[in-house]
Amino acid sequence: MLYILRLNHRIKRDKRITTHCALTGRAFGADGMIFTGEKDDNIVKSVEDIIKRWGGEFKISYSSRWQNFLTKMKEQNYTIVHLTMYGIQLLEAIPKIRRKKNLVVIVGGEKVPSEIYEKADYNISVGLQPHSEVAALAVFFHEYFKGKELTREFDEIKFKKGLKIVPQKKGKKLIKK
């Protein structure tokens, strides 16, 4: 199982980016996302609307304390990966991380508490420049799954019902299951 922990959500500033962390995770192989910071029912609602229309079993929820969530996941032998521009380079660490099947992937917000760097099993940089939570997640998943996340037959694994895109040279084709 693969979960995202998104830290320090701010209702006014992060509405889209937190939603996009969840949608990117969902599209590229995560099983769920927990967000901390300000409680925001709209994030849960908009991600659940997408799941309702497009299918899948992605879980989205809020937690007021990331400490409790991380303790619980560590007890269950999850490997904690924190994405930060200050960490070890992704390409150096990914062969080891790929061997772990249960992961929590943490992305921060404006400020990341120093305890996160300590609690993480791996602090990983996706390039050595500041960019975005969404980009960091997408590139991390791409390397973790070696690109297979792009062609996975979603409907057989998770998508029992929902919309399915049939790729077209031009125009749009959708099947509703």
Sign of CA dihedral 152, 153, 158, 163: positive
Residue 14 CB, nearest distance to ligand SAM (Å)?
A: 10
Asked if 7 and 108 count as a contact pair (C-beta separation under 8 A), the reply is yes
CA triple 33-175-44, angle to 5 deg: 20
Which residue, 113 or 175, has its beta carbon nearer to ligand SAM? 113
Q: Near ligand SAM by CB under 6 A, which window of 24-32, 40-48, 62-70, 82-90?
A: 82-90
Q: How far is CA 84 from CA 12, 92, 129, 152, in A?
A: 23, 14, 10, 27
Q: Which of 16, 72, 101, 131 is in the footprint of ligand SAM by CB under 6 A?
A: 131
Give the pair of three-digit tokens for residue 165. 């895109």
Determine the residue type at 26.
R
For ligand SAM, the binding residues in 14-33 under the rule CB under 6 A are none
Which residue, 55 or 82, has its beta carbon nearer to ligand SAM? 82
Q: Which of 108, 149, 158, 159 is in the footprint of ligand SAM by CB under 6 A?
A: 108
Cα distance between residue 145 and residue 100, in whole Å: 12
By CB under 6 A, tell whether 132 contacts ligand SAM: yes
Residue 145 CB, nearest distance to ligand SAM (Å)?
A: 17
Nearest residue to ligand SAM on Cβ basis = 108
SS3 of residue 161 by DSSP: coil
By CB under 6 A, tell whether 125 contacts ligand SAM: yes
**What is the H or E stretch that residue 41 is in?**
helix 41-54
Cα distance between residue 22 and residue 20, in whole Å: 5
Q: Near ligand SAM by CB under 6 A, which window of 39-47, 62-70, 126-134, 154-162?
A: 126-134
Which residue, 98 or 160, has its beta carbon nearer to ligand SAM? 98
**What is the H or E stretch that residue 36 is in?**
strand 32-37
Residue 117 CB, nearest distance to ligand SAM (Å)?
A: 9
Please report, as ranges, the residues that interact with ligand SAM according to CB under 6 A: 83-86, 107-109, 112, 125-127, 129-133, 136
